[in-house]
Amino acid sequence: MKPLKLIFAVFLIWLLSFGCNKDDDPTPTGLQPDISGVSPSEGAISTELAIVGTNFEQGAVVIVGGVNSIVVDVTSATSIFAQVPSGVEANTLLSVSVRNPAGKEATFENAFTAIPPELEFVNSATKPSGNVGSTVILEGKAFGSVQGTSKIYFSDGAGSTIEASVANPDYWTDQFIITTVPSGADDGPLYIETELGVSNEMIFNVTEAATFSPSTINWTSTTALPVAVSGHYAQFVTIDDASDVSHQFVYVTGGKNDTPEALDQAIYGEINADGTIAEWKSATSLPTPLAFHSTVAATPYNSKVSGSGHLYIIGGVDGDSNVVNTVSVAPFNNDGSLGSWSGTTSLPEPLHSHGAVIFRNTIYVAGGTTTGDVPVNKTYKSVIDTTGALGDWQELSAMPSEMTYHGFITFGAYLYAVGGESGNSTPDAGTSSTNLSQVIFARLDLRTGNITDAGWTVNENELQKSRSKHTTLAAGGNLFVSSGLYAAAGQGSSENTYAQILADGTVGTFAGATGSNTLLSQGGFNLYNQAGISYVDANGVSRVMILGGASVNDPNIKTSNVLFY
């Protein structure tokens, strides 16, 4: 019987040993790990490394360049995340090892290089600017996954620096930092300093809050457009010439003349220091006649594009009265002229009279009218690459209701849609029964570029009067609305109205802009379907400009007038 007892005891020991090696048992198995990849290949102290392979065990140690990482997360047998530890050698190819608790180890040779930070874009631009206190977004690599001892420095304009603060730990990532322009900052170099060194410098222009007094409007005429037009679009653009001197231009595209016939025109004029335009020049004609389209301009001042940037023509109504979904793009030359037009990623659906803006290298389109004069409530975005090409259009949170012939602007990290119409209506119609008075806004997630989970919010304060086919601009921290279809159009202070844009994204109470020198008095009739731009001139003065438009009283009458304030 003793041999049987001995056999049974050996069997029991073997069984218990087998049970201890089940997958859900924390006891190390002594497996040999293997590493198949490590990313990124470059970074900073605290950069998070993603290590992939097999046979990783809980409690594994990660060694980078001979130094143990103090933050290691073994998420599975095939995946580990570990932060680069302090003390690694900079600018040297480092090996990364994974050592399981039982001592077996795998090494991926020459896997990582610790480097100083590299600054690529600020506010998605290579020529950034902003007011003191405004949000600044730095993009690049090797910032570190946590801030630690790293710092951001602005110039004080006198040879010294001012450190910028980071309000939230989540605002510091290896490739993305959110900060604000510190008090006392002035024009000069902006850079990042980490444990491994300092980044390249990028010149940051600290702008003053542009002066603007919308309570008293006095319009001044300048050189008229070559042809009377409505349903066109205007775009303000800053371009640096071959000597790196900045010039301010306004571009006007498409529209309908008094025939009425859709035009393929593209013209531009340089804005002088006093706000006037000396002459209009012809640019490369549009690929097809268009009206009631939209445009945006991507330049090094607002985007990651190379060269002088690009002009985009989005949707519209063509010469055969078809609503189109096409998007065309042409490069700016450094003398202000345009290169050849080419097609890029089309809208998901045909649209006209929609809103389009650009914010941090992304184009946003909202509302508008599709085939059959049907208004929509959709919002889309598309990211621009460095060559100017558009990525796929992504649908974002829809607006609370259908909206077309509205104003659409971006200010700070918010989108604003103002007024418009909610019912079916043709773009040339001089009357509407569905005018809207609401102002809605949506906050953008600065990391993803999407609308935040809060979606669109209806502002408590509405326009004084329901209005459509008008001009909405951001000027001097105000939301400025001019002309369009509304009750008693053009009468005194009703012509222009404004409200302050508040820090939380809401819009204050609207007031009428007074002044006897109105668009009506200067142009001879009440305007709608006009174009407009806002900009800050070389003297720091915020200005608005209204170009062309049709008569509310007789839609067949168009104007070529250009007036600015």
Residue numbers of the domain that contains 169? 118-206
Extract the residue ranges of the chain whose pLDDT is less than 70. Answer: 1-29, 209-211, 488-493
* Six token digits for residue 208: 């003053």
Residue type present at position 449: G
CATH number at residue 240: 2.120.10.80
DSSP 442-500: EEEPTTT-SEEEEEEEE-SSPPSS-BBS-EEEEETTEEEEE-SB-TTTTSGGGSEEEEE
Gap between the Cα atoms of 339 and 331, Å rounded: 5
Decide if 520 is inside a domain. Answer: yes
Q: Are residue 315 and residue 192 in the same domain, yes or no? A: no
8 A C-beta contact, residue 348 and residue 313? no
Query: What is the model's pLDDT at position 460?
Result: 97
Decide if 404 is inside a domain. Answer: yes
Query: What is the model's pLDDT at position 18?
Result: 42
Q: Are residue 172 and residue 46 in the same domain, yes or no? A: no
Residue type present at position 211: T
Q: Are residue 106 and residue 149 in the same domain, yes or no? A: no
Decide if 19 is inside a domain. Answer: no
Decide if 28 is inside a domain. Answer: no
Q: Are residue 89 and residue 192 in the same domain, yes or no? A: no
Decide if 391 is inside a domain. Answer: yes
**Strand, coil or helix: 219:** coil
Query: What is the model's pLDDT at position 493?
Result: 57
Q: Are residue 154 and residue 283 in the same domain, yes or no? A: no
Decide if 233 is inside a domain. Answer: yes
Q: Are residue 243 and residue 192 in the same domain, yes or no? A: no
CA 167, 172, 176, 177 torsion-angle sign: positive
Q: Are residue 272 and residue 156 in the same domain, yes or no? A: no
Gap between the Cα atoms of 512 and 193, Å rounded: 49
Query: What is the model's pLDDT at position 21?
Result: 43
Residue type present at position 204: F
CA 391, 397, 401, 405 torsion-angle sign: negative
Residue 208: count of CB within 10 angstroms of its CB: 9
* Residue recorded with tokens 């731009």: 533
* Six token digits for residue 552: 């509310």
Q: Which residues contact 399 (CB under 8 A, 6 or more apart)?
A: 366, 367, 377, 378, 379, 417, 440, 456
CATH number at residue 64: 2.60.40.10
Gap between the Cα atoms of 398 and 376, Å rounded: 9
Gap between the Cα atoms of 387 and 309, Å rounded: 9
Specify the number of domains making up the chain: 3
Query: What is the model's pLDDT at position 491?
Result: 53
Q: Are residue 122 and residue 263 in the same domain, yes or no? A: no
**CA-based nearest residue to 407, from 460, 466, 347, 469:** 469
The domain boundary, picked from 96, 114, 132, lies at 114
Alpha-carbon 475 to chain mean position: 18
Gap between the Cα atoms of 434 and 466, Å rounded: 9
The domain boundary, picked from 206, 231, 247, lies at 206
Query: What is the model's pLDDT at position 524?
Result: 82
Q: What are the C-alpha distances in Å from 279 to residues 224, 234, 248, 250, 314?
A: 9, 16, 13, 11, 26
Alpha-carbon 564 to chain mean position: 27
Q: Are residue 342 and residue 252 in the same domain, yes or no? A: yes
Query: What is the model's pLDDT at position 131?
Result: 83
8 sits in which H/E element = helix 2-20
Query: What is the model's pLDDT at position 478?
Result: 86
Beta strands 72-76; 374-375: pairing state: unpaired
**CA-based nearest residue to 35, from 140, 120, 133, 110:** 110
Q: Are residue 343 and residue 460 in the same domain, yes or no? A: yes
8 A C-beta contact, residue 419 and residue 468? yes
The domain boundary, picked from 63, 93, 114, lies at 114
Q: What are the C-alpha distances in Å from 196 to residues 76, 86, 153, 184?
A: 31, 10, 16, 27
Q: Are residue 134 and residue 106 in the same domain, yes or no? A: no
| Count of residues in the chain | 565
pTM value is 0.79
DSSP at 191? E
Q: What are the C-alpha distances in Å from 366 to residues 258, 353, 433?
A: 28, 10, 21
Gap between the Cα atoms of 206 and 120, Å rounded: 19
8 A C-beta contact, residue 28 and residue 59? yes
Q: Which residues contact 206 (CB under 8 A, 6 or more apart)?
A: 129, 130, 131, 132, 154, 157, 181, 185, 186, 187
Residue type present at position 201: E
Q: Are residue 89 and residue 164 in the same domain, yes or no? A: no
Decide if 25 is inside a domain. Answer: no
8 A C-beta contact, residue 417 and residue 398? no
Residue 433: count of CB within 10 angstroms of its CB: 8
Helices and strands in the chain, H and E counts: 2, 46
Beta strands 531-536; 511-512: pairing state: unpaired
Q: Which residues contact 431 (CB under 8 A, 6 or more apart)?
A: 485
Decide if 384 is inside a domain. Answer: yes
Q: Which residues contact 69 (CB under 8 A, 6 or more apart)?
A: 49, 61, 62, 63, 82, 83, 84, 85
